[in-house]
Structure formats: C-alpha cells, structure tokens
Structure 1
Amino acid sequence: MTKFKNVKTIIFDYDGTLHDSSRIYIPAFKRAYAYLVENEQAPEKVFQDQEITRWLGYSKKEMWELFMPHLVDAHKNEASRLIGETMVDKISRKEAHLYPDALETLAYLKEKYTLIFLSNCSIDYMESHADMFNLRDYFTDMYCTEMYDFKKSKKEIVADFKHKYPSEYAIVGDRHQDLEVGELDQTYAIGCSYGFGQKEELAQADNVISDIAELKNMF
C-alpha cells in the first residue's frame, strides 16, 4: 500500500495479534478468580469467555485497577502470580498456539523490514514464548512492559526506543494500547479485527486486517 511505502520497522503486539492467548489465559484467569473466591475476596461467578478475554492486552496493573480496584495488593499480587504461573505452565506443555500463518508472515516480512516484539506481559512469559516458537529468529529486539516495571504504556515505550530503528514505523495490534502508538510521529497503526479488541478500538487504526497473512500484501 502507498501509505506504508516508507515503513522500515514493524512493531508487533503479541497476544491477539500473533498468539491466540485465549487458550491459555481463560483457564489461568479462572484459577486466579477461584483463589479470590476461596479467600472471600470475590463472589462466585460463571464467566463467559468474552468477559475474560476482554482483559487480554492490558498490563496486570491496568487489569486489576479496572476489574477489581478495591482488592488489596496482596491478593492482586497472588492472583497475578497464579495467572502468570498457569500460563507459563501451559506454554511448557505446548498448549499455546499462534494464529495460522503467523510465523510464515514474520519470515516474509523479516526479509525487508526490522521487526520488533512489544507485549504487555512479564519477562518470563515473553521468554517462554520466545523459546517455544523461536521468536528471536524473527525479531531484532523483544520488549515487554515488565522491563519498565509495568509503569509505562506501549506508546511511551515505543517513544523511548524507536530512534534505535530505521523510520518510518508501523505497529500491528488488536487493542487500543497498541493502536494509540500510531499517534507518534512517522508511525502507522494496523488493527487486527480477529483479536480481542472492540470495534471502537479499531477505529483509530490506519488500516484493519482480518488475518495476519494480509500483511504480506501490504508490505
């Protein structure tokens, strides 16, 4: 596409963009919520999958502030630990799945572009996936929000590091935390409608794709 003709660096969100994280996040969330119920911090509830996946893409700090803002830090921390532990365990059991054509698309783009990984996740989570799917073969560098103590937004993180890589830039993601990166100078946002974002979040994208493989026709 003419719009992206000068792009040289593509930044990828991970969950909901390359990785179908619902498969490991839903059971992890349910385990953490069961802990809160057991400790009388939350009422029993049967969640619909969509009520759980809406939190994908948020940092753990943002998630708890929105989901259960009055929960004390000790219980937030333990519930977060259980979520992280469960997800990493499921990754080790080979239960994590990338979207079809994700790696093929990365391999294609790597031939002409600098690819950067950026996720609202922990270092352990990022490293576990990097090992399982050999992600370092595709990405020049990998960043996650724990590297910034979960205190910076993706927009702030990209503003910090983008000078290291050739301009112009594009970010590919499914949530508003990804797409607001497109507000930075020389940066475009590509929304993923197959992920976990809502229609109104995708409205801020310069372009929207329904399959990761569509990127091969755009770049």
Structure 2
Amino acid sequence: MTIPTFEGIHTVILDYDGTIHDSTRNYIAAFKKAYAYLVGVDQAAPREWEDAEITKWLGYSSKAMWENFMPDLAGEYQSTASKMIGQTLLERAQNGQAVLYEGALETLQALKEKGYHLVFLSNCSHVYMEAHRESFGLDRYFDKMYCTEDFGFIPKYEIFEAIQADFPGGYLVVGDRFQDIEVAEHHPVHTVGCLYGFGFPEELASADALIEDIRELNDLL
C-alpha cells in the first residue's frame, strides 16, 4: 500500500478501541454475558452469535449501540445490560486482561518524541477510560484524554470543538469506525482509517489514508 505523508499536523486525535486497544475478546465476553441476562428475563430470544455480529458494535457509544441494536428494549433492562457490559470490560482491564495492538505504545512514544500533541478520544465511559489510563500508563503518551460519557455521549465531531479549543491545528483524526472519519465532514481535519480495527471498509472510504498496522502511523508523520 502506498502511504501518503501529511504536513502541518500538530495534534493527532486517536480513537482507542480498534485503533490502539484490541478489545475483541473482552467485548465478546461482555456482550454474551449481557445478552444471556436479557434471555433470562425474557427480553431476548436465545441464539448463537458470530463474533463479527458482536464486534460491529465496538466504536459505538453505549447509548447509540442500544438505540441501534435493541431500540424497543425497556430502559430498565437496557440500563442493566449496559452496566453489565461496562462492568465486565472494567474488571478485565483491572485484571490485566486488556490487550493493546502490537507496537501501539511504541508508536505513541515515537509520535510524542517528534513533538506531536496526542489526544485520546473514545466512545467509552469515564471509568473505562480511567481503568485503561492506569493499566497502560496512558498519561505518558496522551496530553489529554476525552470520553464521550463526559460530554453526554454526543458525537465525536461535536467533542472535537473542545479539543480544538485546547490544542493547535492542523489536526489528524485516527480511527477504525465511521464515527472517527465523519469528524472531517464537519471540521477541517485529515483522517486515517485503521483497516485492522472493527469497522467495515466502506466506513473508511473517505479517509485520507488507510493503514493496516498502527505502526504505519509513524511513517505518515
């Protein structure tokens, strides 16, 4: 793959799950546990799940996931199942079961040494973000960390305005889902799509560049 280079970038905004963190195994386990609960309370039919049917929800905020997955589910059950997923993911992170993509931290360190401002932007909960901050010492790499829960789960392109107020342009957004790439539809930013993550190729079609390994980001900048 021919990889273009970018000039004039000062701030790199990175998604987390599917970009830096490989949350496949943990999310599948959390989803199946929550779905089993819904089956047990007669709110869902028993069924087997393919991994891809589950991981397609990675990258969505909790609110958006349930609105698309089971929009008719009563709020009390949605809340319980959502908390179950969040708690399972949290426990796994705290127990050292979270896994980053190979070369992720080394790439962040290399970019930091080049002088880029690095910003964490994820559709996750605050407690999840903090657990991963502690597990991997993310403060060593990121200048600031933003999660959508702290902004009422508004879209990333709206949160970008807060980032823009804190950090200098030009901006590069790196992620594996349409929620990352669509920031460029609303703001003058460049985008890099991560083909190794959880999105579908068509979600990343408008990205300025595509990478198949997080380490390729160091070649871009």
Q: Aligning the two structures, in what range does the TM-score lie when normalised by the shorter sequence?
A: over 0.9
The equivalent of 1:34 in structure 2 is: 36
Aligned pairs (5 A) from 1:129-140: 129-140=132-143
TM-score (norm 1): 0.97
Q: How many residues align?
A: 218
2:160 paired with 1:121: no
2:99 paired with 1:97: yes
Q: SS at the partner of 2:182?
A: helix
Distance, in Å, in 2 between the alignment partners of 1:108 and 1:3 is: 16
CA contact 2:4–2:209 (8 Å) conserved in 1? no
The equivalent of 2:69 in structure 1 is: 67
The equivalent of 1:84 in structure 2 is: 86
The equivalent of 1:155 in structure 2 is: 157
Structure 1's 113 and 50: CA in aligned 2 closer, same or farther, altered over 3 A? same
The equivalent of 1:5 in structure 2 is: 7
Distance, in Å, in 2 between the alignment partners of 1:2 and 1:47 is: 38
Q: CA deviation at 1:181?
A: 1.0
Distance, in Å, in 1 between the alignment partners of 2:161 and 2:116 is: 19
CA contact 2:28–2:55 (8 Å) conserved in 1? yes
Q: Using the TM superposition, name which of 83-92 and 160-169 deviates more.
A: 160-169
Q: SS at the partner of 1:45?
A: coil
Distance, in Å, in 2 between the alignment partners of 1:155 and 1:185 is: 8
Q: CA deviation at 1:214?
A: 0.3
Task: For 2:132, give the aligned amino acid.
Answer: H
Q: SS at the partner of 1:4?
A: coil
Percent identity, please. 51
Q: CA deviation at 1:2?
A: 6.8
The equivalent of 1:146 in structure 2 is: 149
Q: CA deviation at 1:215?
A: 0.9
Q: CA deviation at 1:161?
A: 2.4
CA contact 2:178–2:204 (8 Å) conserved in 1? yes
Task: For 2:10, give the aligned amino acid.
Answer: K
Q: SS at the partner of 1:213?
A: helix
4+ runs of 1 displaced by more than 6 Å? Answer: none
Q: SS at the partner of 1:34?
A: helix
The equivalent of 1:179 in structure 2 is: 181
The equivalent of 2:59 in structure 1 is: 57
Consecutive unaligned residues in structure 2, runs of 5 or more: none
State the Cα deviation string for residues 135-160 of structure 1 (Å, max 9, x = none). 0110000000110121x100110023
Task: For 1:86, give the aligned amino acid.
Answer: T
Task: Identify the match of residue 169 of structure 1 among 168, 171, 193.
Answer: 171
CA contact 1:167–1:186 (8 Å) conserved in 2? no
Consecutive unaligned residues in structure 1, runs of 5 or more: none
Aligned pairs (5 A) from 1:197-212: 197-212=199-214
The equivalent of 1:217 in structure 2 is: 219
